[in-house]
Structure 1
Amino acid sequence: MLLDGKSAVVTGAGSGVGRATALRFAAEGARVVCADISAERVEETVRLVEKTGGTAVAVRVDVAEESEVVGMLDSAVEHFGRLDILFNNVGIPTPRLGGALLEDHTVAEFDRLVAVNLRSVFLGCKHAVLRFKEQGGGGVILNTGSVAGLVGWGGAVYGATKGGVHQLTRAVAIEGAPFGIRANALCPAAMPQTNFFAAGGLGQGAELSEEAVRQAGAQHPLGKPITAEDCAAAAVYLVSESAGNVTGVLLPVDGGYVAR
């Protein structure tokens, strides 16, 4: 029960890392606002949380819109009395799943990647910090970055948005430290379990081909693909008091990829 009594918001909670983390947070005692742009998917996540005895509510949100982000965070206060944890976990992949070179991107694609992958994190961080300062007692922000923001992975604009997420994370960590606010980021490598593979036509979940899973795992020295549960386990540590003196960290969950 590492998060017993905590109030957490998880974005992108309708699938993949978001759903796995919402389930894990609830299992560790947190009360969870599950947020996603798909009401149907996020309501299913809440049903799964409740099925295991946890507490959660569903919120449909477009995290690129400031008013909706504010409303999402207000939901945590409305339902659970305060906000303790925000996990900014929404992201979309490079068009054509890494096949788009820099010069292939349209301005519309660039703007969409920045809005979803970077502006959403800025908005979440900004309004979580405001809420934490108003409440007093600190708080925790966790952002989903990527190894693509640490090294050249492919997908230039996607990598740039994740690099921006990493710098925002460090800035919030430093600015928030005097107020007891911590901020860290997860940096996953290849995760066939997420909507990124589905967007590339490679399937998702049980529909994934064995070859797609094998190719993902082969990119990592440990030889295994990254799972949503791998990220959820790291997320629990970073938002819990076990990491009470850890802030400004960009934690690769990558099977050793960036260590090569």
Structure 2
Amino acid sequence: MARFNGKVALVTGHFSFFFFLTQVFIGSSNGIGRATAILFAQEGAKVTITGRNAQRLEETKQEILKSGVPESHVLAVVTDLTSEKGQDELIDSTIQIFGRLDILVNNAGTAVTDAQGRTGLDQDVSDFDKVMQINMRSVVTLTQKAKKYLIESKGEIVNVSSIVAGPQSQPEMMYYGMSKSALDQFTRSIAISLIPHGVRVNAVSPGYVVTGIVESIGFPPGSFEKLAAYWESHKECIPSGKIGRTIDIANVIAFLADRKLSSYIIGQSIVADGGSTLVMGIQAHDMMAILASA
């Protein structure tokens, strides 16, 4: 029997970024959200997928159906998660169609820059407000709306954080890093408040992952491959020598949502980054070679 048979999973949309470019929406219609929704559906769950791009959302639905999942097990909701109305529509539709909610995957996040490409402390504080609105406020309010249904099912919440939450500094993506640090604290805090009700809360913190963002925001085809090749060939970037795939993160999310496998993990953020956060700049060099040449 598939491990999520009888469960209902809601995978929210994903705002993404790339260095100095303006924000782009890709949703559970793409990237980590898409991989997670497909995996849950293949493992027996009924899934609600969401995003603002109807075409990509339909593509995700068709990918799910191709694997033999009944159409009645997939609900696609085109909506804006930053609005209370959009969130109400998402929760209400899920309960109306499926009758319950067992797993909430908060996969929303964004980083923005202004038209001049300014980053860090040079960015206008309005950018900070935008990032916190999407990365934190929408997560808090959606979780509040889902709370009673998750308590009824004694369900699971998995938040999608990031390695930019720290402890390393993020001078160019300061607002994004601050929002993900806040998300980690939110994860820890609600984990303690909800576990007495039987609801587990955890998070995953991805590192470099192939999501298809670069081409989607206007870079020439092959641009991401160039970046990935550099990162994979430099120990200080990815010690494992392999950039992550969306399924790598989806598997961690599924693990955290599987009570049989992870029942004793409460309020943690599991890092999946190929070892990137374990390396300091000094460790990227061969200390013994330096000593031998002295």
Give the match for residue 283 of structure 2: none
TM-aligned CA deviation for residue 42 of structure 1:
1.1
Q: 1:254 is matched with which residue? A: 273
Q: Which amino acid aligns with 1:214?
A: A
Alignment of 1:130-209 (within 5 A): 130-133=148-151, 136-152=152-168, 154=170, 155-195=173-213, 197-198=214-215, 201-202=218-219, 207-209=222-224
CA deviation after TM superposition for structure 1 residue 101, in Å = 3.0
Amino acid at match of 2:98: F
**CA displacement, residues 147-182 of structure 1 (integer Å, 9 cap, x when unaligned):** 001233521100000011111111110000100011
Rg larger in structure: 2
Q: Tell me which of 256, 260, 264 is aligned to 1:245.
A: 264
Question: With structure 1 as the length reference, what TM-score do the two structures score?
Answer: 0.90
**CA separation in 2, counterparts of 1:207 and 1:15?**
18
Residues 131-156 of structure 1 deviation map (CA, whole Å, 9 limit, x = unaligned): 223xx241111111000012335211
Shift in Å, 1:194:
4.4
Shift in alpha-carbon separation, 1:226–1:91, aligned structure 2, 3 A? same
1:113 aligned to 2:131? yes
CA distance in 2, matches of 1:226, 1:180: 32
Query: 2:37 aligns to what?
Result: 22
- 1:221 is paired with a residue of what secondary structure? coil
Aligned residues with identical type, % of pairs: 32
1:139–1:182 CA contact under 8 A, matched in 2: yes
Give the letter for the 1:236 counterpart. A
Say which SS state the counterpart of residue 186 (structure 1) adopts.
strand
Q: Secondary structure at the match of 2:91?
A: helix
Q: Is the 8 A contact 1:137 1:179 kept in 2?
A: no
Aligned residue in 1 for 2:291:
none
For structure 2, the residue ranges without an aligned partner over 5 or more in a row are: 14-27, 280-294
Gaps of 5+ in 1: none
**CA–CA distance in structure 1, aligned partners of residues 276 and 120 of structure 2:** 23
Q: Which amino acid aligns with 1:103?
A: L
Contact 2:113 2:119 in 1 (8 A): no
Q: Please state whether the residue corresponding to 1:26 is helix, strand or coil.
A: helix
Asked if 1:8 corresponds to 2:14, the answer is: no
1:104 positional shift? 2.4
Task: Work out the CA distance in 2 between the residues paired with 1:44 and 1:26.
Answer: 14
1:73-112 matches, cutoff 5 A: 73-95=91-113, 100-112=118-130
Aligned pair 1:42/2:61, yes or no?
no
From 243, 254, 257, the equivalent of 1:225 is: 243
Moved more, 86-95 or 165-174: 86-95
- Cα separation, 2, equivalents of 1:227 and 1:153: 24
Equivalent pair of 1:173/1:248 in contact (CA under 8 Å): yes
Contact in 2 for aligned 1:169/1:185 (Cα 8 Å) = yes
